Structure 1
């Protein structure tokens, strides 16, 4: 029997509809599934993720971010037991995909989507339990973290600054604090009107509490950069810690004339024409380090800075809301002329560094010249606390030879024993340190106070960088040693006295 034309037309039309339906279903479920799942407008996915029992962020055995049960639509509320102390580390997990810090960088683990947790997800699927996230254990030393936060916030007035402490031999971040800090619980709340109000207030705050100054702010490092200049000068083979170096009360930068190109030492004793290298570091002699930088040359200075981590990205354990990391890159300028090179030798011109970067410089010298890649995540665990992965320390570079590192260390020990870094001295322990006061370049912005140190000097367990952007301190009293040294001392003591 032959099918009549109307029936055949309808059959072909229905077949075409089924084919279109099949193609569309295949496209949506296979090709476009990932894009739709990642789309912030997909409320079903957002609600499901927000309702999941997210893993904990741990410092030792103590959670600094944890999901607790609730009676509302979303089942679990993200909670931060010590919010302001750890906000710069944990970040926050808020509705709609607003995630920062470790919450963002380790989101796959904490949400349970990480491939290393596949077996756990399968067990959860076959059992009665809903999907659970894995835990993330941090490298943070809780005593060092608290010491850093308490010391920084004890400065007078409205304090803006950061402290970073590293374990030189591994790159573990032992402390990372910022002030002003914020309370991530107010952003993570299920009261979305209150959530938005809190975020808007923090985002509009001129003191920028949401800014992670340890890794998102690069400022002129001032005289703490003299560690790099000293390393370059000693690596050139012309000097060691016992050498005489070019000094003087003033130094006219090459190719310049007048006040704009004149470097001075603000009255510190830096010799007539030459001075002992130890004395130059003890007194933080600008004339010495500007001349050393010019002698070494722009290319060698750039190579030395980059060997410590400048002009590159090497840290991914903290993330912001925009892009992959939204972290600041510490920069050392390229293609400088001689006067610019001289200024760079004292941490000015266009040299910029984050507190984490300057902690790495100190840690590299403390670790016999080897710079280790900094990391914050020590271990990934399943929801049952079984170890899934442990971070292995990774060498970033050989910044200087062990011999050069020992010579620079001698200079820094002398600076603590007899120079401007004496506020960081610890009884019975040899400490290496350096002060820094960097000009902001703006008349209405005060200088930045810096301090870097490590201890014990001959076998360092901790390296510290302190950056004080501003506090209620008279402009002419701003000094890295006076204000940053005691902070570094307390952090080092917290690590060493355990």
Structure 2
């Protein structure tokens, strides 16, 4: 009898243990998946019973996403996006079964489920009030963001604009065009939302993609500032006045091909580094890269953040100079071609690093998190990512980039009374096809407050568009907006 009772007791304990293990597994491991399961009707309704926090810019002065009380007991709260398309890729959308952009990345603060808000959540539960989330204030400069969007979208271009504060890493603009209206994706109607999403997803111009951080492109001649940085860092005796060979044509090793300058132009056979960057000669920079070698070029690129995975907190696709191949490939890599692929954010970081006298700051989008009672829960503190170059090398690069804007290909970025430093880029895609157009810059050069990268996708601004002609004017407008000029 005692043996039977013991076996029953052991069996009961075992079953109890299994039950507890299953509860723990469901509550801890599977909870998120079950909560987001499309079949979970309870979770679907619960999403609309939270007074979700707002998303703002300019220290809370501009509302980018807000929650409206509908008075409907089933769908109590609705999400709206007053500023729409110019901010869509950063703000994202809050849909019945998913979310994107900052709506997703900071979702736990916005819906009040973040551990930092546990006390507030408990108070709401005891009082019977609807759960209320925290607001997320972004670093964006709303006026500059709208201007960047207008400059791109208003002329039918595809591309991206990213501007940063070079001293902190705060992202001031992040625009991607084409864009979309997030409001139809925030309806509490799965069928309508799915229809709207499918239409956007099938669009050949891919408006859902954030071209600023999710796609990479050949950077063209904007990459020459990185090649110049590696060249100057490699020998302290070099400076902007160092004289280089600048032939009209450069034979590429182990091939029957020769590299020419843009449109076959002549750079006079010899040129200073300052002159070569000002008129964007290909041949001296290609030779520089081959002389330095792949390892030094890759190391210098990595110092600017190239190759790193970044969370801002949106995920950023890593940029890359491409694999090690032969000398001929390295020559093309050194002028921003071949397998060299950069995001617009990464090229803004390059400009910002030079502006900040060689120190690259970690980019970020969140200014602060504000609780429902108005108290500050968290705020971003600027962090250094790396020292890309010495202050002395940064000064030489700045001198050369100023000359590009004052006397070279970047003159359309000039601002009255402000010294602008910049570099143009025109990146070939396929033989006989249009090129990408780029421009990177910062201002004022003596005390930089803004660094910017403008990217125009191939074919969206004519077949012979260059960075100096179509990208530099957009950078001009964005910098002027940030500086209040």
Same fold (TM over 0.5): yes
Pairwise mapping of residues 192-341 of structure 1 onto structure 2 (< 5 A)?
Answer: 192-237=190-235, 239-258=238-257, 261-272=258-269, 274-318=270-314, 325=315, 327-341=316-330
Q: Structure 1, residues 16-56: CA drift from partner, whole Å, max 9, x if none?
A: 89657744552343232133421232332343234311111
Q: Distance in 1 between matches of 2:468 and 2:220?
A: 12
Q: Distance in 2 between matches of 1:194 and 1:19?
A: 50
Question: 1:396-419 CA distances to partner (integer Å, 9 max, x unpaired)?
Answer: 000000000000011100000000
Alpha carbons 1:253, 1:263 under 8 Å: kept: no
Cross-structure match for 2:142: 142
- Render the CA deviation track for 1:342-367: whole Å, top value 9, x for unaligned: 11110001110000000000000000
Q: Is the 8 A contact 1:432 1:454 kept in 2?
A: yes
Counterparts of 1:12-51 in structure 2, within 5 Å, are 22-23=16-17, 25-39=19-33, 40-41=36-37, 42-51=40-49
Structure 2's unaligned 5+ residue stretches are none
8 Å CA contact 2:51–2:132 kept in 1: the answer is: yes
Residue among 424, 427, 448 paired with 1:460: 448
- Which one is further off, 185-194 or 44-53? 44-53
Q: Distance in 2 between matches of 1:332 and 1:354?
A: 11
User: Which has the higher mean CA deviation after the structures are superposed, 39-48 or 177-186?
Assistant: 39-48
Shift of 1:262: 2.7
Kindly indicate whether residue 464 of structure 2 is the aligned counterpart of residue 473 of structure 1: no
State the SS of the aligned residue for 1:68. Answer: strand
Residues 181-192 of structure 1 aligned to structure 2 (within 5 Å): 181-192=179-190
SS of equivalent residue, structure 2 residue 174? strand
8 Å contact kept, 1:416–1:422: yes
With the length of structure 2 as denominator, give the TM-score of the two structures: 0.93
Aligned match of 1:107: 107
Offset at residue 128 of structure 1 (A): 3.2
* 8 Å contact from structure 2 (residues 361, 385) kept in 1: yes
**2:484 is the alignment partner of 1:497:** yes
Structure 2 SS opposite 1:66:
strand
| Number of residue pairs aligned between Structure 1 and Structure 2 | 477
Query: Deviation of residue 64 (structure 1)?
Result: 0.6
SS in 2 for 1:194: helix
Aligned to 1:424: 413
**CA pair 342-378 structure 1, distance change in 2 beyond 3 A:** same
**Cα separation, partners in 2 of 1:17 and 1:65, compared to 1, 3 Å:** farther
Q: Alpha carbon RMSD of aligned pairs, Å?
A: 2.2
After superposition, the C-alpha distances for 1:142-169 in whole angstroms (9 at most, x for unaligned) are 11111211111232x3x21100000000
Asked whether the 8 Å contact 2:401–2:422 carries over to 1, the reply is yes
Higher mean alpha-carbon deviation, 372-381 vs 49-58, is at 49-58
Does the CA contact (< 8 Å) of 1:369 and 1:399 recur in 2?
yes
Find out whether 1:174 has 2:172 as its counterpart. Answer: yes
Structure 2 Cα separation of the partners of residues 118 and 222 of structure 1: 50
Greater Cα shift, 69-78 or 159-168: 69-78
Check whether the contact 1:347–1:438 (CA below 8 A) recurs between aligned residues.
yes
Unaligned runs of 5+ in 1: 319-324
Contact kept, 8 Å, 1:302 with 1:334, in 2: the verdict is: no
Instruction: Give distance in 2, aligned partners of 1:287 and 1:119.
Output: 64
Structure 1, residues 410-430: CA drift from partner, whole Å, max 9, x if none? Answer: 110000000000000011110
Most deviating of 129-138 and 173-182: 129-138
1:100-119 Cα shifts (integer Å, max 9, x gaps): 11111111111111111122
Paired residue for 1:399?
Answer: 388
Shift of 1:58: 1.1
The TM-score with structure 1 as length reference comes to: 0.91
Contact 1:268/1:283, CA 8 A, preserved across alignment: no
Q: Distance in 1 between matches of 2:18 and 2:44?
A: 23
Provide, for residues 261-301 of structure 1, a one-character-per-residue CA deviation record: whole Å limited to 9, x for no partner: 433332434112x1122221111111121111112221111
